[in-house]
Amino acid sequence: MYQLKGIAYLGDQLLKQGKKIDQYTTRFMMDALFSTLTNVNFDEKRFVKYILEAQTVKENLKNQVGSLQNVPAAVDYRPPEDVEKMIEDGKKVGILADEIDEDIRSLRELLIYGIKGMAAYAHYAATLGKQDENVNNFFFTALARTLDNNISADELFNLCMELGKMNFRCMQILDEAHTQTFGHPQPTEVLISKKKGPFIIVSGHDLKDLKDLLEQTEGKGINIYTHGEMLPAHGYPELKKYKHLVGNYGGAWQDQQKEFDGIPGCILMTTNCLQKPKDSYKDRIFTTGVVGFDGVAHIEEVDGKKDFTPIIQKALELGGWQEDEEEKKILVGFGHHTVLGLANKIIDAVKSGQIKHFFLIGGCDGAKPGRNYYTEFAEKTLRNTLILTLACGKYRFNKKDFGTIGEFPRLLDIGQCNDAYSALVIAIELAKAFNCDVNDLPLTLILSWFEQKAVAILLTLLFLGLKNIYLGPSLPAFVSPNILQVLVEKFNIKPISNPEKDLNEILSRK
């Protein structure tokens, strides 16, 4: 991160000179940021490579920028080649290394984590050929300001709101990349039980990796299952046309060590959500892209292509499950295109009193106690309320039967955390239809918190002015009491309490 801050400063200077930052530098920035995200890369060798490559990027930028005076130390820093010395240097520039005001540090980390989250979305979009120059430039201008110890709290707060704006645009181009490449998601039943035969489980978020694997496994007798945040892939026409994309295996990321234990098939981790592999499946889990773990086979991209032959051969060798399980299915595919196609019917159902309230219950999942709150909350919602859900938090309740309201399923799965844009578009368009502000809709956001992409989404929600968000199971440790008070006063963010109390409060207010 210290190296990336030095790169950001130089990139920002280049922009101030009216010059452009080249594509290699931009892509290095977003991918290296992404590699530091929660549960992405645990491979020491990969980080050493990034740190050393960052030095080359810095030197190239210095040549382009020219002579500069009084630059931050990160600009002139040169990393040692020795890993132990790198670790010692890291301790000198960590989060608590400088003596600055607690609230400034809190806002600075809020900005940095938001930048990391947005880098993930930008990475996904760039993989599919979609980029936005303003979004790309913001990585440099915003990260450069984190080197300024004289920056005010107001300036940092405004930068956080600007990140929310940029992340909204970033999620928009990712949505365009997905829908233009794979079509608009459609309501689709997904098998959640096992089928006989060799298999590969694909986890993470990268739909292009899934598409490439589907192409390379077609006709080879291998079943492909999604896992975790890859579940929404089944709704995309250009993915579900592959008959060997047979279903979804398991639940959220934190259960993988139990669910993958000794399975007779392979796993491909495409983005974040990786845990330390157990010995019982370490020989059959593969990583790709920015994901890495020491001792785990990695599939590199060569000349823009990935050869999945090693994982295909391993899956065939392992043989897979020996018999079919009894069929069980769940429903996915309610992106903004589908839901807004039903807008008139939804509006009529609200006006007639058939639908009294909308709840968006979603976000990150985790193993920490207290996350059963989201299961209980969903179960306690009334029969005349509609539940929208996205991200891996939905695994707390997405296999339960919530019934229907008229012709609508009560539970509408919008997609990955990446698809938060879909939820926002739905809310914004419904507000227009009802001729009101989004905050005046009978809609409440019940969000679960875990990692940095959640920071980027939260900042987008705040930039858009959404209020009365219920957040839990605990609030982020890097938000200081004073900054939390500002967020509570300005946006009425509410820490969750217990499902019944919160539900009663919501329904009595709306």
Region of 305 (left: φ > 0; alpha: ψ -120 to 50; beta: rest) is beta
Cβ contacts of residue 73 below 8 Å, gap of 6+? none
Is there a binding annotation on residue 170?
Answer: no
Place of tokens 């090693």: 310
Q: For strand 305-306 and strand 329-332, is the pairing parallel, antiparallel, or unpaired?
A: unpaired
Closest CA to 132 of 118, 113, 146: 118
- 154 contacts 208 by C-beta, under 8 angstroms: no
DSSP 8-state symbol, 21: P
CB 5 within 8 A of CB 32: no
Half-sphere exposure of 57 (CA within 13 A, CB side): 25
Q: Is 276 annotated as a binding residue?
A: no
Answer yes or no: are the C-beta atoms of 392 and 361 closer than 8 Å: no
Q: From CA 424, how far away is CA 167, in angstroms rounded?
A: 12
Are the C-beta atoms of 373 and 472 separated by less than 8 Å?
yes
Annotated binding residue 266: no
Provide the 3-class DSSP secondary structure of residue 220: coil
What residue type is assigned to position 257 of the chain? Q
3-state secondary structure of 468: coil
Distance (Å, whole) CA 46 – CA 51: 9
- Has 229 been labeled as part of a binding site? yes
Q: What is the DSSP letter of 250?
A: S
* Residue 417 assigned as binding residue: yes
428 token code pair: 């914004």
The binding site for hybrid [4Fe-2O-2S] cluster consists of 205, 229, 273, 364, 392, 417, 451, 453
The binding site consists of 205, 229, 273, 364, 392, 417, 451, 453
